[in-house]
Amino acid sequence: MSEKIKVIKKIFAANEKIAEENAAVLEENQVFTVNIMGSPGSGKTSLIENTTLNLKDKLKIAVIEGDIQGSLDAERLNRLNVEVVQINTGGACHLNSSMIQSALSSLNLKTIDLLFIENVGNLVCPAEFLLGERLRIMTLSLTEGEDKPQKYPLMFTKCEALVLNKMDLAPFLSVNPEIIKKEAQKINPKLEIFPVSCTRGDGIKEFSEWLKKKISTL
Ligand SMILES: Nc1nc2c(ncn2[C@@H]2O[C@H](COP(=O)(O)OP(=O)(O)OP(=O)(O)O)[C@@H](O)[C@H]2O)c(=O)[nH]1
Ligand SMILES: [Mg+2]
């Protein structure tokens, strides 16, 4: 048992070392990097699409797209004329810092202001693996239910902002967004919460403005 714990600690330590190297490279090149995490289908790609449309006149944006397999999301983002690098984890349920290190080598970092990393759809393991990012943001859609903060607290603890998506569906669901907000802030009192609807565009302006302010601190 103690051997197993030692191995897990080593994996995290090795990941953190490379994450620090990534962070140094990104800072040197003045690239603000945002790790977007959340369940499958919670709206990660939709949030990146909407925010990119809002900010791409002001900032040069690129995306590292993490998926178990395929390139469907990368194709969606390519349509917005942003540079996209696809990572296929081949089964792994999260991105790690060495995957990001190799993706960074194929981007022209000097020309990028804002780099989104779309993590693999999962509310658990991505929270445990630092990538070298400046900001961690999670998407949660209303359809996932009120109990998610209590059931998956680590993700809520590790993120700076929660984008509560699919607000347009509120009238059709027996889910109270106020309960999600309250429970999430109980776990992480500093968590910024943005209720949005990616399909309608509601709340995207507020989120983009907040992100732009964060980037200006780089
Ligand atoms: N009604 C509604 N549907 C939405 C909204 N945002 C996204 N969707 C839909 O939800 C589905 C999943 O959205 P994506 O943006 O692909 O979600 P994702 O988190 O990137 O999914 P994975 O990459 O597969 O983990 C799509 O069919 C979207 O059209 C929203 O605000 N309201
Ligand atoms: Mg996606």
DSSP 55-93: HTTTS-EEEEEEESS--HHHHHHHTTT-EEEEEE-TT-S
DSSP 8-state assignment for residue 112: -
Ligand 1 nearest-atom number relative to CA 67: 23
Q: Going by CA atoms, what residue is nearest to atom 32 of ligand 1?
A: 166
pLDDT at 176: 97
Confidence bin at 1 (pLDDT 50/70/90):
low
Over residues 14-42, the pLDDT tens digits come to: 999 999 999 999 999 999 999 999 999 99
Over residues 60-81, the pLDDT tens digits come to: 999 999 999 999 999 999 999 9
Q: Enter the tokens of residue 149.
A: 């903060």
Over residues 178-209, the pLDDT tens digits come to: 999 999 999 999 999 999 999 999 999 999 99
Please name which ligand lies nearest the alpha carbon of 40. Answer: 1
Over residues 131-190, the pLDDT tens digits come to: 999 999 999 999 999 999 999 999 999 999 999 999 999 999 999 999 999 999 999 999
pLDDT at 136: 98
Q: Enter the tokens of residue 58.
A: 């002001």
Question: Are 136 and 159 within 8 A, CB to CB?
Answer: yes
- What is the pTM for the complete model shown? 0.96
Cα–Cα distance, 130 to 174 (Å, whole number): 35
Q: How far is the CA of 59 from the centre of ligand 1 (A)?
A: 24
Q: How far is the CA of 18 from the centre of ligand 1 (A)?
A: 31
Which residues line the pocket of ligand 1, CB cutoff 6 A? Answer: 38, 40-46, 73, 121, 165-166, 168-169, 197-199
Q: Going by CA atoms, what residue is nearest to atom 13 of ligand 1?
A: 43
In this predicted structure, the answer to whether residue 121 has a pLDDT above a threshold of 70 is yes
In this predicted structure, the answer to whether residue 7 has a pLDDT above a threshold of 90 is no
Ligand 1 nearest-atom number relative to CA 47: 15
